[in-house]
Amino acid sequence: MEGAVALGMRRLSVIDLAGGNQPIHNENGSISVVFNGEIYNFRELRRELEEEGHIFSSHTDTEVLVHLYESHGRGMLDRLNGMFAFCLLDRRAGRLFLARDRVGKKPLYYAHGDGAFAFASEIKSLLCHPAVRREADPAAAALYFTHGYVPAPFTPFMGIRKLPAGHWLELDLASGEIQVGRYWDLDYSQVDEDLCEEEAVAGLESALLAAVERRLISDVPLGVFLSGGVDSSLVVAMMARFREGRDIHAFSIGFHEKAFDESGYAESVARAWGVDHHVTRFSDAEMFSVIDEILPRMDEPLSDPSLIPTYLLSKVTQDSGIVVALSGDGADEMFGGYPKYYIHRYAAWLDRLPGILGRDVPAWLFSQVPLKAENNIFNYKVERFVSGLRLAPRHRNQFWVAPFMPDELTRLLPEQEVPRAVWEVTDQYDSRFNGRGVVDRMMYFDAKMMLQDMYLAKVDRASMAVSLEVRSPFLDLEVMDAAVHLPWQLKVRGRETKYLLKKLASRYLPHDVVYRFKRGFGLPLAVWMRTLAPRISETLTQGDCGGIDAAYVQSLLREHLDGTRDHAVKLWAVYAYLTWLRNWGGS
């Protein structure tokens, strides 16, 4: 503490265990920092700074930040390759300087008002501050149910904001005024249309190998998540270029229910590279039992049910003595991994139909699709696709994967008008997109919104709940730069997603691992909802439901239980929200 300023930090020690305690200061103590994350190029930066005359007192990556700021000010951010959220106290200029990494691997929340400014890695910390009021944001529920998360800069609370990825914030300590600015964005305007496939594969391989090697720097035991999908499997194979297989500790989880168990693919990759493979299989009951363990910890609602297996995987990894784990996160958003990217191209053809045809063809298509009585998941996806055709491309990209469509939202939250923010968040990114083509545009939206505010948030909350750090080579600065320079045809070709990445992976992995059907964390969500149904019904009768129409949710439950419709996605989103509301949303 110093005057009106207090900096605090609870450290997960990874590099320089003894000498890296925070805050860390520069030579004369005029600049101090608290920092969460890793700077992967800190050794190169340290050499440069020492050549400039800076004197270091530790071997931690954190200390690079104070000296880099001393020399470059805000420009320091252009030099960093890493995942980070930090706050620098600049006593010379009388200000705080905060920043968040380019894609939002590390969270950073802040509250400003009533003569106070507070920041933290978690909302729950800010709620302990006497100047921060626990006042719900009326627009947050609608934002959550139409995205599956609350997109930055919003949070569920009026007085609390998220600093968006790739942004900085300055607080003038004398005036109390803040300024927020963007220092980085994905730029698709410099695509190399003349790049041949072989050159593209070679360039990507070089960048990804370097990214993996950078993420192996650690003074604590290090492992890797291995799902058996192409992304995590490629990370494992590339780790084996730098370490003996027996020194690589790979962790997978599986399910007793064969329809959802993909651990066999992970075992195939582990055998191919001779890694030390740890597989833990869970029953539905065991998976279900941890829902009450992790959901109440979520101080911001997330509708992604893979939070549960991610938490379990993190837990078994950390229980084995691992402190740092690599993962395959970010590959889908950088290299075109979602089927909706090629579906957007089909939808664009329908968009070109004139007037009445453009309005009537989607409805006619839905009437012609042979819905399957035995496959409600298929029916749900078909209905969602056709409904999304009525929206602008940027909004259908959002609503195709959202829990609730706009017309459904008015039934769920009847006392609210659909706030403009539901549309404006996507519109804002649409105006910022710098590039051409629908595929790159939609990947940009997903990287700026879904990746930042749901998938990376899920991994951070699930892993840090057990004190495990997760590193993502696909979100390395050089790898992302390589990705945005690729023509979209090398990402999505016909109905083949991640085309170029799979070409690279086929040099390292068995064919059936590279080209199998993508499942991700396949979950028996529909079964879970049958088990959770009584609990959801009971919760709807207990106090404030945040404006949710309980009768509408009960109708969804009845249709789901009698098997006429699959409402698992909607019901899980409602349950996650109500759990958040009961634990954090009250006054």
Q: What is the number of other CB atoms lying within 10 angstroms of the CB of residue 7?
A: 16
476 appears as a binding residue in the annotation: no
C-alpha 310/C-alpha 242 separation (Å) is 26
548 appears as a binding residue in the annotation: no
Burial 254-264 (b: 16+ CB within 10 A, else e): bbeeeebbbbe
| The residue type at 508 | Y
Tell me, what's the pLDDT at 421?
81
39 appears as a binding residue in the annotation: no
Q: What is the residue whose two structure tokens read 């790159």?
A: 440
Please say whether the beta carbons of 580 and 156 come within 8 A.
yes
- In angstroms, the Cα distances linking 461 to 123, 165, 340, 379, 525 are 12, 16, 27, 32, 21
Strand 31-39 and strand 276-282: the pairing is: unpaired
Q: 3-state secondary structure string, 297-349?
A: HCCCCCCCCCHHHHHHHHHHHHHCCCCEEECCCCHHHHHCCCCHHHHHHHHHH
Tell me, what's the pLDDT at 352?
78
Tell me, what's the pLDDT at 539?
86
Strands, E assignment, 173-221: 178-182
Each residue's pLDDT, cut to its tens digit, for the chain (587 residues) gives: 777 899 988 877 777 676 677 799 999 999 999 999 999 999 999 999 999 999 998 889 999 999 999 999 999 999 999 999 999 999 999 999 999 999 999 999 999 988 899 999 999 999 999 999 888 888 899 999 999 999 999 999 999 999 999 999 999 999 999 999 999 999 999 999 999 999 999 999 999 999 999 999 988 899 999 999 999 999 999 999 999 988 999 999 987 776 667 788 899 999 999 999 999 988 878 888 899 899 999 999 999 999 999 999 999 999 999 999 999 999 999 999 999 999 888 888 777 777 555 556 655 555 555 544 444 556 667 777 777 778 888 999 988 889 998 889 999 999 888 778 888 999 999 999 999 889 999 999 999 999 999 999 999 999 999 999 999 999 999 999 999 999 999 999 999 999 999 999 999 999 989 998 765 555 678 778 888 888 889 888 887 888 999 999 999 999 999 988 889 999 999 999 999 999 998 65
Distance in Å from the first CA to the final CA of the chain: 29
Residues 6+ apart with CB under 8 A from 362: 350, 386, 387, 389, 390
328 appears as a binding residue in the annotation: yes
Q: What is the DSSP string of 347-394?
A: HHHHHTS-HHHHHHHHHHHHHHS---TT-HHHHHHHHHHHHHTTS-HH
Please say whether the beta carbons of 33 and 24 come within 8 A.
yes
Q: Which helix (H) or strand (E) holds 469?
A: strand 469-471
Q: What is the residue whose two structure tokens read 């709807």?
A: 540
Please say whether the beta carbons of 261 and 275 come within 8 A.
no
| The residue type at 176 | G
pTM, two decimals, is 0.93
Report the sign of the C-alpha dihedral through residues 295, 298, 300, 303, in that order: negative
Helices (H), 488-524: 499-505, 511-514
**Sheet of 82-90: strands edge to edge?**
24-25, 31-39, 82-90, 95-100, 167-172, 178-182
Tell me the domains of the chain and their CATH numbers: 24-182 (3.60.20.10), 197-335+461-514 (3.40.50.620), 524-587 (no CATH)
